Structure formats: structure tokens, C-alpha cells
Amino acid sequence: MKLTLIFILCAHISFSQNIKGIVLCEKTKEPLIGVNIYLKNKNVGTATNERGEFNLIIQSKVNDKDTIYFSYIGYETKKLSLSELKEKEYTVYLSISIENINEVTIVSNKFLKHSIEYKKLSSLEDGLYSFGSLLIEEKIWA
């Protein structure tokens, strides 16, 4: 029984693949914490730790042409194939992306609504690991 369990665990581990690397800010060269890393066609993802390091564990074989996405709020999303990531020695630099938004006015004399109106959206084709939201004309946009 124990031998069978060990054999199954070894077979499972041998099929998994780890991709390790680091994500840094292109301008400051400092590590970015919480960057989302996503391998689209395998539906797996992870995030960077406090040192900007990531470990993407994949349970199946990865092709050199498979695309890995790196996204972080305030930075441009970067798409790299596995072969490009290898060429960069598993170090990814993200560029700052600044977007101007309209002025926000806070008013305290309005009454709150009892419910929020919303429109149900269709399901996403890909996984979502984080998102931001914005309040425009009393509507929340995510």
C-alpha cells in the first residue's frame, strides 16, 4: 500500500514543471510585490513574493512558445513566451503606466441608496487574479 502511494506521488511530481524568476520595476530596478503571473493556455497563475520572486508550478509540459502574462496595477502588462523568458534569464522588467483620471469630488450631504444598480456581465474566458474598480457618475466600473 505504501509503495503504491509513493509511486503515484512520484509520477505526479515528475509531470509537474516549475518556472522560477523575478519581476522588477524597469525604472527603479526594485522588486515588485504581488505581480500577477498567468500562463494562459494552462490556466495556472501565481503572484510575486516580497522579494519580487515567483514560482509558477505547472502540472503539464510547457511549450517554449506558450505565453506568460505579467500584470500589475500601475504598470503595463507584459507578455513573454517561455523562450523569451529563458533568454532574459527569468528576469522580467515592467514599465510604469500612468493614466490620468478625472477629478473626484467628495460630497457628504447626500443620502446613500439602499441598493446598487448593476448589469450582470458574461463569464470570463480566462482566469482573473486581481482587479481594480473606478467610481464614475455614481456607478462602479470594475
DSSP 8-state symbol, 53: E
Q: In b/e form, how buried is each residue of 13-40, taking b as 16+ CB within 10 angstroms?
A: eeeeeebebbbbbeeeeebbeebbbbbe
**Spatial contact of 47 and 37, defined as CB atoms under 8 Å apart:** yes
Residues 6+ apart with CB under 8 A from 83: 64, 65
Q: Residue 90, class by beta-carbon neighbours within 10 Å (0-12 exposed, 13-18 middle, 19+ buried)?
A: middle
Query: C-alpha grid cell for residue 107?
Result: 460630497
pLDDT in tens, 21-54: 999 999 999 999 999 999 877 788 999 999 999 9
Q: Which residue has the higher pLDDT, 135 or 50?
A: 50
Give the residue-averaged pLDDT of 52-58.
Answer: 93
Q: Which residue has the higher pLDDT, 135 or 82?
A: 82
Give the residue-averaged pLDDT of 96-114.
Answer: 80
Q: For residue 141, is pLDDT > 90?
A: no
Give the residue-averaged pLDDT of 6-15.
Answer: 48
Q: Of 4-18, 39-53, 94-108, 115-129, which gets the smallest average pLDDT?
A: 4-18
> In the prediction, which pLDDT does 2 show?
54
**Spatial contact of 85 and 14, defined as CB atoms under 8 Å apart:** no
pLDDT in tens, 68-100: 999 999 999 999 999 999 999 999 999 998 878
**Spatial contact of 31 and 52, defined as CB atoms under 8 Å apart:** yes
> In the prediction, which pLDDT does 53 show?
97
Q: Which residue has the higher pLDDT, 67 or 136?
A: 67
pTM: 0.61
Query: C-alpha grid cell for residue 49?
Result: 513574493
Give the residue-averaged pLDDT of 107-117.
Answer: 75
